[in-house]
Copies of this chain bind each other. A is one copy, B any other.
């Protein structure tokens, strides 16, 4: 639809898809994991370090950026890419998810949502149109529509009325986007809601397709329903997802979630897990997650992954990382975040190669067999 953005489906393997997103700022091989750069920074990381892991696209949070330093300020400083020194594509969320998490600090109406800043208590408003504006001002390559992330659990009626509101907002967001986008450089994704109710999910997706977007996201999953339930929903919606557009599962997840979702046709992921857990001493390894604070690593001279091209993974011993975590050294967060992003990118590269070879299912099985061995 937009000349600067398109998606090529290169290969399928069952429901799994090997694709390529093209943007005016570069390509993204899918399935792809997007490290989260909440406040114009993938926490503790230099952009060059993030790029070196193989990450081709990062996520920015409209909610955080609109509050600090402010979208207009970022625009005056040349846009989000230039501001933070990330030259590749950036996807921005609409701010909806964070605002909904504010609980009593926010108020939803048909028009949109008003909320009080968690930073200084100042009042702000987001509407479908304003979320489009802010993301255009930030200069994001892929923007998300404002939606209401339906909480879990929700009754059918609650989930339905929430989904219908999100669909009305999606229609307004698309109209605003079409009217305002400059030179067709940007893309906009719709977000499917409907809780765990397949009927609602299907109606939501149909509504989004009727409106027409460059990509289709599933929101309101990984919010407490559990992996089995999430996979059941993905199984239910997978056949209806439009083959010609990318499929994005928002806020997911653990390696096992990602593998299962890729096998169910998802192309894009984001999650704070690799970055946040890195700041808390946790490292992802092929043998499962470990916490470096554990005394068992005090004299473990082996690196996290001697075969990795990532310096954080291969050049420092677990004993050293253990020491840094125990001593509260900032370098612990730097190295573990870097390693975890590299681990996730390596997982995605493995999945992409497996799909090309028609071995996605067995790759996933073998990965998880080793990943879960310790606790089996």
Q: Inside 8 A of A69's CB, which chain B residues have their CB?
A: 298, 319, 322-323, 326-327
A232 in contact (CB, < 8 A): no
Of A20-28, A76-84, A147-155, A188-196, the one contacting chain B is A76-84
A225 in contact (CB, < 8 A): no
A330 in contact (CB, < 8 A): yes
Of A99-107, A177-185, A310-318, A355-363, the one contacting chain B is A310-318
User: Are the CB atoms of B334 and A44 closer together than 8 Å?
Assistant: yes
A320 in contact (CB, < 8 A): yes
Closest residue of chain B to A69 (Cβ to Cβ) is B323
Interface size on A, residues (CB 8 A): 38
Docked complex Cα distance between A83 and B298 (Å):
12
User: Are the CB atoms of B78 and A40 closer together than 8 Å?
Assistant: no
A256 in contact (CB, < 8 A): no
Docked complex Cα distance between A327 and B334 (Å):
17
User: Are the CB atoms of A298 and B43 closer together than 8 Å?
Assistant: no
Closest residue of chain B to A329 (Cβ to Cβ) is B41
Instruction: Mark out the residues of chain A between 221 and 268 whose CB falls within 8 Å of any chain B CB in the assembled complex.
Output: none
User: Are the CB atoms of B73 and A298 closer together than 8 Å?
Assistant: yes
A331 in contact (CB, < 8 A): yes
- Asked whether A43 and B334 contact (CB < 8 A) given A83-B320, A320-B83, A320-B85, the answer is no
Closest residue of chain B to A300 (Cβ to Cβ) is B77
Docked complex Cα distance between A76 and B39 (Å):
41
A301 in contact (CB, < 8 A): yes
A48 in contact (CB, < 8 A): yes
- Asked whether A316 and B85 contact (CB < 8 A) given A40-B323, A41-B329, A77-B299, the answer is yes
Q: Inside 8 A of A68's CB, which chain B residues have their CB?
A: 323, 326-327
A324 in contact (CB, < 8 A): yes
User: Are the CB atoms of B41 and A331 closer together than 8 Å?
Assistant: yes
User: Are the CB atoms of A331 and B44 closer together than 8 Å?
Assistant: yes
Q: Inside 8 A of A40's CB, which chain B residues have their CB?
A: 320, 323-324
User: Are the CB atoms of B301 and A77 closer together than 8 Å?
Assistant: yes
Show the binding face of A for B, using Cβ within 8 Å.
39-41, 43-46, 48, 68-69, 73, 76-78, 83-85, 279, 298-299, 301, 311, 315-317, 319-320, 322-324, 326-327, 329-331, 333-335
11 A-B contacts (beta carbon < 8 Å): A39-B323, A40-B323, A40-B324, A41-B331, A43-B331, A44-B334, A46-B331, A68-B323, A69-B323, A77-B301, A77-B319
